Amino acid sequence: MSKANKKRSRLIFRGVVLLLLAAAILFSIFSKDKVEVLAVGDKAPDFELVDLDGNKHRLSDYAGEGVFLNFWGTWCPPCKREMPYIENQYQAFKEKGVHVLSVNIAESNLKVDTFRDQYGLTFPIVIDKNKDVKELYNILPLPTTLLIDKDGRITKVITAEMTEKEIISYMESIQP
Amino acid sequence: MGLASLSANLLLVSFIAYLVATLFFGGAVKGAKSEASYSNHRWGNVGITITIIGFITHLGYFITRWMASGHAPLSNMFEFTTAFGMMLVGAFILLFFLYRTPSLGLFALPIAVIIIGYASMFPREITPLIPALQSIWLAVHVITTVIGESILAISAVAGLIYLLKHVDMTKPSRQRFWLEAVMFTIVLVLGFVLSSTTFKVAGYEAHFTYIDKNEAPAKITYHYPPLFGMHEYEAQTPGAMEPWAEMPAVINAQKLTTFVWSVVTGTILYLILRLIFRRPIASLLQPFAKKANSQLMDEIGYRSVLIGFPVFTLGALIFAMIWAHEAWSRFWGWDPKEVWALITWLFYAAFLHLRLSKGWEGKKSAWLAVIGFVIIMFNLIAVNLIIAGLHSYA
Amino acid sequence: MSKIKCQCGHDNPFGTVLCEKCGRPMTEEAKKSEVVDMRYEGSARRSQTYKRSIIDKIWNFFSSVKVGVGIIIAVLATSAIGTLFPQKLYVPVNQDSPAELLAYYERLYGIIGTLYYKLGFYDMYNSWWFKILIGMLGTSIIIASVDRVIPLYKSLKKQRTKRHASFMKRQRIYGAGLSGDAGSSLAKAEEKLKNMKYNVKTEDGAILAEKNRFSRWGPYVNHTGLIIFLFGVLLRGIPGFYVDQTMWIREGELRSIPGAPDYYLENKDFILETYSKEEADEVFGEAIDRVGTIVKSYQTDVSLYKKKEDSLPGSTDLEHVKDYPIVVNKPLKFDGYNIFQMDYRLAELKSMTMQLIEKKTGKSFGQFTIDLDDPEGVYELNDGARVDLIGYYADYDGVENGEPVSKSPIPNNPAFIFDMITPEKPNGEKSFVAIRQTLETEENAYQVKFVSAETRDISGLTIRKDKTLYILLLGGLIFMIGVIQGSYWNHRRIWIQKGEGEELLIAAHTNKNWFSLKKDLNAVKEFADLPKYEDRLDNESSSEEEEGEK
């Protein structure tokens, strides 16, 4: 090997090693999120929960249609405020291929039942008794709402209270 | 006689044995012209025999206490520090048979004696194990660590001898100052032992209530006349001294009081010694070091780091990580004790690199060995007593 | 880059201190020195040879041991700063609230605490600059090792048995003198050295005895271990390699395990045991007297369930895997996961027992128990009476817009609205009942009275999965092998060769433990009648030996 060649390969070797090491350092600084979290564009994982009347609901039952997946609790004030709007828009959109599936997190049947009657809710309400779906979807604050399109993909995750106007535009966005 | 009291007596026997052995090593050094001629001196042989007897009774203390309590006696400050003293003697015996040098014994044994004396100032009763310590790893991790640390400490002893021999005590210099500072620190430890024993014999106790740093009420007992009061303290013992000043919640005023008493007692002790001998303590000890062979001390200082470093790594880092993973669910949590173990390890790693590549030998290497010992002691004492963490059992 | 030609005819790379083959000094400095520096065998470290491009400059920077030691000291010093005050993780406030954290440091440590927080020392070990420091340490370990191990390997491989006299003369241990019969002395020395397990080579009236060369590789082996360890730590940043979750689970609760899909845990019982004085007998009595209660164990009895393979998340179709008591130091292990007992809370309300009484007579219609997690709507009582639960507020927090509100689903402060239906009042009487409080819209004839409350404990568990553990363990193991190999053995070499006439030259070198080397050499000297040697760095013991011989 000629001297110039040798020098070049040495330079390449050193450059590559240094580059790899620098990349490793940068990676260690920026890799903070160690939990795999569902993100927009992911396929919404299927689940099966029982509603207040004892009927089973699967997410996959709604394949081909939009799903407005709302996680909530009876004790949470913003959940209470947005419920009537969701009910209104459920009525408006149920014929247009957008469904509301409302998941209560591990509360008692009595409590959820009373709540439904009090607010006159007609969409299906399922209870996630062992917090399985909550873990599956990494739900932290309540309310959290996921928009799922007709292909079963998550198009948006909303972790705040919604106005009626927003609910309308969200439902429109997943209309098949 | 129960096992527990047998255990306490055995410890006393070994304590006395180390004191006696020191005298014999002193005799061996005094009677010889130089290192080579005293390596097989009769006094030296008697000295090492008595040391071994002391070590065996010390081991007896350890085993009988283990039998009495049902767990390795390494779960509190007294037990840990006593074990450290024991292993220090063990490490000395090992290096004595490698190098046959009584001067090492002359300095290592008094240090072991001081360490045991220091340990005895902490509560000595046998405590049951809290859940976090109920594991076989208590014995495995702590014993390995203590062995590693004590071998590393021998390096500091050899370094100290080297420095006493080579630092010129006739003229003021930075090295002379720091060497005397090391001596002063040792006198302070004696001051702690002295003052603590005095008040213990006198049976001094003062109870207080106070508000801790999490704003919860708590109780504390002083064994010294309280110079400093805890955060929002209220005296519970009538007739006890009124503290001079109240401390904020983050400062443990009881420990501060103990510390100040020890420093004051130690300083008075030091001044008395200076008045009697009219010389720095270091120069007082210099004749005992003069006959030691410099190359040999340098070599022992280096070799003991080489022997101790792998043992320390295994015990204080690897076993520690395995146990931490079992008990606390993570192998490393940046707890102060863990960090200081890492600091100790990094320090000795730096020591080895400096020695290997930069040729730091002689005085430089001896100073590093002494600093290493200071770090180990800091981790043992200060981190346990000052910096609260998962490891503060005492 | 020009090569340096030695007088013996060997071409040495630029930067060589001692000729790779015969050991003649190559630099002016080496020629002048009395005892030559034998580090890396006087070979040319590549780092010191080329200093051209920026890449070479960075490379050379990390190759330096001085820089390496500097980085070690920097890590050491910054680590120490991080222990000054507790790290964020150990601070008992909300971890995600900067304001609370700052307030904590400010309250306890004043202005220094504020500074400590502002400078980011409260979470120092996760800071970008600390990570960069560790990264630089790793870089230094890799580059410095690569730069040294190859030349060292080459020069140890190339070394010749017969060395030049100038090499011998510059060794720390050196001796020259006449021997009665040089030839037989050499033969005897060879025999003795072989007995002492030295690897002996001869060449033209010269002996090179070598032992434990492998210990020279120790540092490089242990550095490899460290790199593997750091690599393992790096991998934890990749999602899926590492799970770290916590969960609170109440006695009686069955819930899915966070971070462990398809697995469910049921808390059957939490047990907190303390050492009792009687049980601990005379051994621990004194300690318990002094400290008060000492905890013996924290235990959560659990059942582990797994979702049946064909069922979906959310379904209650589970199969039982095992029962296990989780205690500190004995985590539940399954499928790569570990579940640890970490925390607990005692006595949360679980159910409340009430009774319906007639106020006037105090007559009771019987008791009923409300499960606070799953209350019923109707409680049938004696004599045709019943109580309807028409409102339940688990964590009652006052009234808003005329309606009682609950601030969480946890029964910390339960409140109820009852409708009491009795034969006398078939239309019912309404009453609001909270802890130590009963409100009535109008004076009622009947009352729901609190009888007793039942509680349960909550276990705080940590869920971990760490696929990197074995990599870390491997790194640790390799480090230990390397550090032991390098520390507990040492590389010794003894050169003996004929000089002029019957003169014999001896020289010896070791990387450490000269004391033992001299012991070996003395044994050979005695057996083979070799000339006396001296240790040029130890004047004291050489003179002592003479003294001893007098």
Beta bridge mates, C12: C4
Domain boundaries, chain C: 45-156, 162-212+490-549, 353-449
Question: How many domains does chain B divide into?
Answer: 2
Q: Which of B221, B245, B279 is the last residue of a domain?
A: B279
| Same domain, residue pair B178 and B226 | yes
CB contact under 8 A, A10 and C50: yes
Q: Which of B230, B255, B279 is the last residue of a domain?
A: B279
The answer to whether residues B198 and B215 belong to one domain is yes
Give the distance from residue B117's alpha carbon to the nearest chain C alpha carbon, in angstroms: 21
C407 touches chain A (CB under 8 A): yes
Helix axes B320-328, B336-357, angle to 10 degrees: 160
**Nearest-angstrom CA–CA distance, B201 and B372:** 35
> pTM of this prediction?
0.88
* B323-381 pLDDT per residue, tens: 999 888 888 888 888 999 999 999 999 999 998 877 788 899 999 999 999 999 988 88
Higher per-residue confidence, B101 vs B159:
B159
Contact B230, B254 (CB under 8 A): yes
- Helices of type H across C262-311: 281-291
Chain C (317-356) residues lying within 8 Å, Cβ to Cβ, of chain A: none
Distance, CA of C379 to chain centre: 56
Q: Would you state the pLDDT for residue C539?
A: 64
CA distance B101 to B300: 10
Does residue B288 share a domain with residue B157? yes
Which residue, of B279, B299, B320, is where some domain finishes?
B279
- What confidence tens digit (pLDDT) does each residue in B6-46 have? 999 999 999 999 999 999 888 888 776 665 545 556 888 89
Show the CA angle centred on residue B210, arms to residues B205 and B213, nearest 5°. Answer: 125
Interface probe for C, chosen from B6, B96, B125, B299 (most Cβ of C below 10 Å), is B125
| Same domain, residue pair B243 and B328 | no
Tell me the three state secondary structure of residue B143: helix
* Cβ–Cβ < 8 Å for C79, B375: no
| Cα three-residue angle C514-C516-C522, rounded to 5 degrees | 100
Residue of C nearest to B212 (CA): C108
State yes or no: pLDDT of C544 exceeds 50: no
Shared domain check, B246 and B328: no
For residues B247 and B213, the answer to whether their CB atoms sit within 8 Å is no
The answer to the question of residue B390 being in a domain is: no
Domain residues for B73?
3-169+280-385
Interval C55-66: pLDDT, tens: 888 998 999 889
| Residue-wise burial string across B354-374, b where 16 or more C-beta atoms lie within 10 A, e elsewhere | bbbbeebbbbebbbbbbebbe
Q: What would the mean pLDDT of C167-191 be, rounded to a whole number?
A: 84
d(CA C84, CA C204): 65
What pLDDT does residue B288 have?
85
- Is residue B128 domain-shared with residue B14, that is, in the same domain? yes
Chain A adjacent subunits, 3+ CB pairs under 8 A: C
Strand residue runs (E) in C428-486: 429-434, 437-440, 446-466
Angle at which helix B294-312 crosses helix B136-166, to 10 degrees, equals: 160
Distance CA C332, CA B59 (A): 37
Same domain, yes or no, for B156 and B224?
no
Chain A contact for C256 (CB, 8 A cutoff) = yes
Whether residues C409 and A73 touch (CB distance < 8 A) is answered with yes
From start to end of C315-445, where are the E strands?
318-327, 332-334, 337-358, 364-371, 378-380, 386-393, 396-400, 403-406, 415-421, 429-434, 437-440
Answer whether B68 touches C (CB < 8 Å): yes
- The conformation of residue B315, written as its DSSP 8-state character, comes to I
Answer yes or no: do B313 and C329 touch at CB < 8 A. Answer: no
Co-location of B182 and B238 in the same domain? yes
What tens digit of pLDDT does each residue of A70-119 get?
A: 999 988 888 888 999 999 999 988 888 888 999 999 888 888 988 898 88
Same domain, residue pair B20 and B135: yes
pLDDT-derived band at C550 (thresholds 50, 70, 90) equals very low
B377-381: long-range contacts (C-beta < 8 A, 24 or more apart)? B378/B340, B379/B337, B379/B340, B379/B341, B379/B343, B379/B344, B380/B80, B380/B81, B380/B84, B380/B149
Q: List residues bridging with A69 in a β-sheet.
A: A101, A146
Strands B228-229 and B245-246: parallel
**pLDDT tens per residue across span C336-366:** 899 999 989 988 899 999 999 988 888 889 9
Counting Cβ atoms within 10 Å, is residue B70 exposed (0-12), middle (13-18) or buried (19+)?
exposed
H helices present in B203-293, as ranges: 253-277, 281-290
C-chain residue closest to B334, CA distance: C125
Q: Calculate the alpha carbon distances from A165 to A55, A89, A143, C150 in Å.
A: 31, 10, 17, 71
Tokens of B81: 């520090």
Q: Which residues contact C538 (CB under 8 A, 6 or more apart)?
A: B293, B294, B295, C514
CB B105 within 8 A of CB B95: no
CB of B259 within 8 A of CB of B165?
A: no
Q: Supply the ipTM of this predicted assembly.
A: 0.90
> What is the three-class DSSP state of B375?
helix
The pLDDT, as a whole number, for residue B55 is: 96
Distance CA A109, CA C265 (A): 22
Same domain (yes/no): B99, B126: yes
In the sheet that C318-327 helps form, which strands lie side by side, from edge to edge? C254-256, C263-274, C295-307, C318-327
CA gap C326, B230 in Å, rounded: 39
- Could you tell me if residue A58 is left (phi over 0), alpha (psi between -120 and 50 degrees) or otherwise beta? beta
Within a domain: residue B311?
yes
Q: What is the pLDDT of residue C45?
A: 64
Q: What Å distances lie between residue C115 and B213, C105, C120, C133, CA to CA?
A: 19, 9, 8, 22
First to last CA, chain B: 28
First to last CA, chain C: 57
A21 contacts on C by Cβ (under 8 Å): 135, 138-139, 142
Report the pLDDT averaged over residues A55-77.
89
Which superfamily does C162-212+490-549 belong to?
Alpha-D-phosphohexomutase, C-terminal domain (3.30.310.50)
Q: What is the pLDDT of residue C548?
A: 35
Q: In this structure, is residue B250 part of a structural domain?
A: yes
Per-residue pLDDT, averaged over A131-138, amounts to 88
**Residue B257 and residue B294 share a domain:** no
Cα angle C360, C363, C366; round to 5: 140
Most B-contacting residue of C152, C221, C300, C329 (CB-CB within 10 A), to test interface: C329
Subunit contact B34:C547, Cβ cutoff 8 A? yes
Which chains does C contact via 3+ CB–CB distances below 8 A?
A, B
C residues 343..372 contacting B (CB < 8 A) = none
Mean pLDDT for the stretch of residues C14-18: 80
- Are B272 and B285 contained in the same domain? no
Answer whether C135 touches A (CB < 8 Å): yes
Interface subset of A 44-103, CB within 8 angstroms of C: 45-49, 58, 73-75, 77
**Residue range B184-190: average pLDDT?**
92
pLDDT at C541: 57
The verdict on C408 touching A (C-beta cutoff 8 Å) is yes
Q: Is C125 on the interface with B (CB under 8 A)?
A: yes
Tell me the backbone φ, ψ of residue C243, rounded to 5 degrees. Answer: -120, 135
Is there a domain that residue B393 lies in?
no
Structure tokens given for C463: 């869920």
Q: What angle do CA A164, A169, A173 make, to 5 degrees?
A: 145
